[in-house]
C-alpha cells in the first residue's frame, strides 16, 4: 500500500472508525456463540458432530485468509474492508438455518471464510493507524472487539432467556450489524496500492521470528475459542443449568476480556509485555482450574471470567511483538495472525472431539494446560515492549501519496 499522508485529525477519526469495525466483528461472534446450544438442537447433532461442524470455520478461514491481501490490493483497503465485513455480518444468519449436519458444515465454512478475510483486513488497518499515531492502540482495538462480543452475547443471552428462535434473532442482528459496519467503513483510511506495487503473494510461509510468537498466541486463542463456543454448553450439559444462565456465562467471559483489553495499553506500558503476560497466564490457569474442579455453576462462571481476564491482552501483544521482530514486519504479522486465528477456529472442534471421547471436563483440562504455557513462554513477547525510539511525525499534513 502507498503511504498516504493524513493529518492527525483524519487519523484519529480513522482510529474510531476502525474501533467501530472491531466492535461489529466481535458482535457477530458473540451473537453466534450464545446460540450454539440452540443451533446444536435445531440441527440435531451430538457433541462430537458439533465439534466436527465447528472445524469447518477453520477450514474456510485457512483457505480464504491468504486472499484478503489480494482483495485489498485490487480494490483498496477501505472498499475491501467494507465488502468483506458485510459478507461476515450477513453470514451470521447461515448456521441457524442449517437443519442437519451437512448443511451446518457448509454454513460454518462460509462463516469462517468471511470471518477470516474481514479479520485480516481490519487488523491491517489497525496496525496502520497505530503506526501513524505512534502509540499503542491494538489492545484497545481488540477491547472494542470484545465489547462488541459482549453486546452480541448479551443480546443472545436475552434471546435465549426468552426462548426466541435463533433464526429470527440472527436475521435482525445481521441487518443491524451490516448497516453499522458499512457506516463505520466510510471513515477508515483509504489506502490504495502504488502504481508500481506488485500484488502480494496469495500463500507465503511465516518467517521464523513469527513461529514462537504465534505459538504463544495459539495458546491464548485456543482458550478463547474454546470458552466462547463451549462455555454455555459446559454449564448446560455438565452442570445442568438453564439456557439463560448458560448463555450468561459466555457474557461474563466476554465482559472480563473487554475490560482487560480496554485497559491493556496502559498496563503494558507500565509493566511491560513479559510481566503482563506472565501474570495473565497465572490468572487464566487459575480460571481453568476453577472450571475443571469447581463443580458448581457460580464457581465455573468465575473460572471462565478469570480466563477471559487472563488471555485478553496476549493476542494484541503478539501482533506488537511480530511487528518489531525480524526484517519483514508485515510478513511476521500475517504469519502470527494465521496461526492465532486458526487456533481459535480449531479449538471448538478439538474441544468437541475430546469431549466426545472423554468429557468436557477433560477438554477444559487441556485448556488449563495451555494457559500454563503462557507463563512459561511469556519472554517470547519481549519484542512487544514499546521501548523503541519514537518515529518522527510527518513534516506535512497535506493529503497526498508517496511510493
The predicted model scores a pTM of: 0.78
The pLDDT tens digits for 63-81 are 887 788 788 888 988 999 9
pLDDT of residue 11: 92
Distance of CA 232 to the CA centre of its chain: 18
Q: Residue 5: phi, psi to the nearest 5?
A: -90, 115
**Helix (H) or strand (E) run with residue 296 in it:** none
Query: Using CA atoms in the order 33, 314, 354, 107, what is the torsion angle rounded to 10 degrees?
Result: 40
3-state secondary structure of 400: strand
Among the listed residues 354, 369, 88, 83, the one whose alpha carbon sits nearest the alpha carbon of residue 223: 369
Average pLDDT for runs of 10 along the chain of length 403: 69 95 95 92 92 84 79 89 97 97 97 90 84 83 87 91 94 98 95 71 66 92 89 90 87 85 86 91 96 92 94 89 65 75 78 90 95 93 58 35 30
Which residues have CB under 8 Å from 352's CB, separation 6+?
Answer: 47, 48, 50, 51, 52, 54, 230, 363
Q: Report the alpha-carbon distance of residue 401 to residue 403 in Å, rounded.
A: 7
Contact yes or no for 224/257 (Cβ under 8 A):
yes
3-state secondary structure 377-391: CHHHHHHHCCCCCCC
Residues in the chain: 403
Contact yes or no for 199/73 (Cβ under 8 A):
yes
CA-to-CA dists, residue 134 to 21, 73, 119, 130, 392, angstroms = 21, 24, 22, 6, 9
pLDDT of residue 240: 87
Q: How many helices (H) and strands (E) are present in the chain, helices listed first? A: 17, 0
Q: Residue 64: phi, psi to the nearest 5?
A: -95, -30
Phi-psi group of 398: left, alpha or beta (phi > 0 → left; psi -120 to 50 → alpha; rest → beta): beta
Q: Locate 330 and state its grid cell.
A: 508485515
Report CA torsion sign: 14, 91, 83, 313.
positive
Among the listed residues 314, 324, 337, 269, the one whose alpha carbon sits nearest the alpha carbon of residue 124: 337
DSSP per-residue string spanning 99-145: -SHHHHHHHHHHHHHHHHHHHHHHHHHHHHHHHHHTS--HHHHHHHH
Contact yes or no for 33/228 (Cβ under 8 A):
yes
Amino acid at each position: 500500500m502507498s503511504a498516504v499522508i493524513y493529518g492527525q485529525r483524519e487519523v484519529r477519526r480513522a482510529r474510531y472508525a476502525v474501533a467501530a469495525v472491531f466492535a461489529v466483528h466481535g458482535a457477530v461472534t458473540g451473537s453466534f456463540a450464545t446460540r450454539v446450544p440452540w443451533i446444536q438442537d435445531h440441527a440435531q447433532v451430538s457433541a462430537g458432530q458439533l465439534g466436527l461442524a465447528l472445524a469447518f470455520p477453520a477450514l474456510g478461514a485457512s483457505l480464504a485468509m491468504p486472499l484478503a491481501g489480494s482483495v485489498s490490493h485490487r480494490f483498496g483497503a477501505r472498499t475491501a474492508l467494507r465488502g468483506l465485513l458485510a459478507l461476515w455480518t450477513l453470514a451470521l444468519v447461515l448456521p441457524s438455518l442449517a437443519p442437519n449436519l451437512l448443511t451446518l458444515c457448509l454454513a460454518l465454512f462460509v462463516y469462517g471464510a468471511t470471518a477470516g478475510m474481514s479479520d485480516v483486513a481490519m487488523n491491517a488497518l489497525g496496525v496502520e493507524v497505530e503506526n501513524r499515531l505512534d502509540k499503542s492502540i491494538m489492545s484497545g482495538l481488540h477491547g472494542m472487539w470484545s465489547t462488541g462480543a459482549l453486546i452480541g452475547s448479551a443480546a443472545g443471552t436475552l434471546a435465549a432467556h426468552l426462548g426466541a428462535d435463533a433464526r429470527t434473532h440472527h436475521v435482525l442482528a445481521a441487518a443491524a450489524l451490516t448497516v453499522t459496519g458499512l457506516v463505520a467503513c466510510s471513515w477508515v483510511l483509504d489506502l490504495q496500492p502504488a502504481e508500481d506495487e506488485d500484488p502480494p503473494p496469495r500463500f507465503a510461509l511465516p518467517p521464523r521470528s513469527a513461529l514462537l510468537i504465534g505459538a504463544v498466541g495459539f495458546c491464548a486463542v485456543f482458550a478463547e475459542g474454546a470458552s466462547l463456543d463451549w462455555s454455555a454448553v459446559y454449564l448446560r450439559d455438565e452442570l445442568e443449568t438453564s439456557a439463560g444462565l448458560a448463555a450468561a456465562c459466555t457474557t461474563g467471559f466476554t465482559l472480563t476480556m473487554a475490560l482487560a483489553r480496554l485497559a491493556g495499553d496502559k498496563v503494558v506500558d507500565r509493566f511491560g509485555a513479559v510481566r503482563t503476560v506472565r501474570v495473565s497466564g497465572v490468572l487464566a490457569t487459575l480460571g481453568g482450574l476453577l472450571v475443571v474442579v469447581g463443580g458448581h455453576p457460580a464457581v465455573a462462571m468465575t473460572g471462565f471470567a478469570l480466563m477471559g481476564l487472563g488471555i485478553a491482552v496476549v493476542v494484541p501483544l503478539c501482533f506488537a511483538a511480530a511487528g518489531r521482530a525480524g526484517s519483514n514486519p508485515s510478513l511476521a504479522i500475517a504469519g502470527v495472525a494465521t496461526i492465532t486465528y486458526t487456533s481459535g477456529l480449531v479449538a471448538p472442534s478439538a474441544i468437541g472431539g475430546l469431549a466426545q471421547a472423554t468429557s468436557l471436563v477433560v477438554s477444559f483440562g487441556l485448556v488449563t494446560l495451555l494457559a500454563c504455557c503462557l507463563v512459561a513462554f511469556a519472554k517470547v513477547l519481549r519484542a512487544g515492549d514499546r521501548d523503541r525510539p519514537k518515529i518522527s511525525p510527518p513534516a506535512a499534513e497535506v493529503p497526498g501519496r508517496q511510493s
